[in-house]
Amino acid sequence: MTDLTRTLLEAAAELLAAHGVRGFRVADMASRAGVSRQSVYNQFGNKERVVHAVALFKTEEFLDGVRQRLQCTDAVEGISAALTFVFHLAVSDPLAKSLFTGSDAEDLLPLVTTQGHPVLAAATDVFAEHVQLHYPWLPVAYADLVAEHVVRLVISHLLTPSHDPVHAIVTVTRVLLSACP
């Protein structure tokens, strides 16, 4: 990824977090990045492609952080560290906060709900690798099922928190441990 692409995507992410898709303007993105509007169109084509590119960029950035934390020799410590990162990011990163709470940008919510398959699939793959690594005796299909449900459970806790994040992390970790004998 070029420096220009990263600068454009970061500018777009900030604006999407603050204004949502409806309030997002390519002209504002270009201005924030210090380039012409035409440069943005040359890079991405249109507003919808910018939003899609930001979603992919932020998902990969997010999952890189999860992968780093899962690289623990202990399966439970890795899951706990990854989930702590996820819950922290959901309140500290403006775009993640807007995605999961609907604050400032309620029209982003579909990116993790009704249109959330790309995020769900990518996150499931990351957790499935972790489950398969630490529980190699599990059939691959079962490990994938466990990983998908862990991700769905985490998303559910992020979208509709019922307790503090520590409680959610403990709950998700318990579910994983009970599913992986």
Would you say residue 71 lies in a domain?
yes
Mean pLDDT of the chain: 89
Would you say residue 23 lies in a domain?
no
Q: State in Å, rounded, how far the first CA of the chain is from the last one.
A: 41
Would you say residue 3 lies in a domain?
no
Question: Tell me, what CATH number does 89's domain have?
Answer: 1.10.357
The pLDDT tens digits for 133-176 are 998 999 999 999 989 988 998 888 888 887 778 788 777 777 77
Indicate the number of domains in the chain. Answer: 1
Would you say residue 138 lies in a domain?
yes
The pLDDT tens digits for 81-119 are 999 999 899 889 999 888 887 777 778 888 888 888 988
- What percent of the chain lies above the pLDDT cut of 90? 50
Structure confidence at residue 181 as a pLDDT band (50, 70, 90): low
pLDDT in the model for residue 169: 79
Is the pTM higher than 0.95? The answer reads no
Would you say residue 36 lies in a domain?
no
The pLDDT tens digits for 42-88 are 999 999 999 989 988 998 999 999 999 999 888 888 988 999 999 89
Would you say residue 50 lies in a domain?
no
Would you say residue 10 lies in a domain?
no
Residue 171's domain spans which residues? 55-179
Q: Residue 55 gets which letter from DSSP?
A: H
Q: What is the DSSP string of the chain?
A: --HHHHHHHHHHHHHHHHHHHHH--HHHHHHHHTS-HHHHHHHHSSHHHHHHHHHHHHHHHHHHHHHHHH--SSHHHHHHHHHHHHHHHHHHSHHHHHHHH-SS-GGGGGGGTTT-HHHHHHHHHHHHHHHHHH-TTS-HHHHHHHHHHHHHHHHHHHHS--S-HHHHHHHHHHHHHHH--
Average pLDDT on 3-21 reads: 93
Would you say residue 158 lies in a domain?
yes
